[in-house]
């Protein structure tokens, strides 16, 4: 059995969580201010528009986002209520998610805010050779988590 984190590991874990939270909050606030979208709204719309050309099967979207079907269904209902998207019947009873003009406009307004926030909160402050090593490790973890 593995024991609890030691002091050094705990410090690193807390720093990781705080850094992640700081970036996430900054990005969420910029997107909200620019376009009135939540991060979840932005995630859905960006995938539907950019990966699906504005139309995407709901089952593909759930796979792409890595969400539970119930979570996606609730999110889509909220977005449909705000006229950011519509759901249509597809082949074999499958649901199709369609971005509306309002959804596309909100995404277009959010895109520059998203880029600005990511650059400001994450990328611009990490430009030394040591940070290059950091990004190499992050990419390794993201693409190949330790077994």
Q: What is the pLDDT of residue 134?
A: 78
Give per-residue burial for 120-146: e unless 16+ CB within 10 Å, then b. ebbeeeeeeeeeeeeeeeeeeeeeeee
The 10 Å Cβ neighbour count of residue 108 is 13
Residue 97 maps to a domain: yes
Q: What is the CATH number of the domain that holds 113?
A: 1.10.10.10
pLDDT at 131: 76
pTM (two decimals): 0.83
Task: Specify the pLDDT at position 2.
Answer: 86
Residue 79 domain flag? yes
Give the model's pLDDT for residue 145: 60
Contact 63, 57 (CB under 8 A): no
What averages of pLDDT result for each successive group of 10 residues across the chain (147 residues)?
Answer: 90 90 94 97 97 94 96 97 95 92 98 94 76 80 70
Residue 101 belongs to domain spanning: 36-135
**Does residue 145 lie in a domain region?**
no
Q: Is residue 17 part of a domain?
A: no
What pLDDT is recorded for position 82?
A: 98
Residue 147 covered by a domain: no
**Domain tally, the chain:** 1
Long-range contacts from 52-59, C-beta under 8 angstroms, 24+ separation? 52/97, 54/98, 54/99, 54/104, 55/96, 55/97, 55/98, 55/99, 56/96, 56/97, 57/90, 57/94, 57/95, 57/96, 57/97, 58/87, 58/94, 58/95, 58/96, 58/97, 59/94, 59/95
pLDDT number for residue 133:
81
**Residue 29 included in any domain:** no
């Amino acid at each position: 059995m593995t024991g609890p984190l030691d002091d050094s590991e705990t410090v690193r874990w807390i720093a990781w969580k705080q850094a992640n939270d700081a970036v996430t909050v900054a990005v969420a606030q910029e997107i909200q201010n620019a376009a009135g979208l939540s991060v979840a709204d932005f995630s859905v719309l960006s995938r539907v528009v950019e990966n699906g050309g504005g139309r995407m099967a709901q089952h593909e979207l759930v796979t792409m986002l890595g969400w539970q079907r119930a979570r996606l269904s609730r999110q889509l209902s909220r977005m449909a209520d705000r006229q950011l998207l519509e759901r249509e019947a597809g082949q074999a009873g499958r649901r199709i998610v369609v971005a509306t003009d309002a959804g596309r406009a909100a995404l277009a307004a959010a895109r520059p805010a998203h880029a600005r926030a990511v650059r400001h909160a994450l990328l611009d402050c990490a430009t030394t050779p040591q940070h290059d090593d950091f990004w190499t490790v992050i990419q390794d973890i993201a693409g190949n988590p330790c077994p």
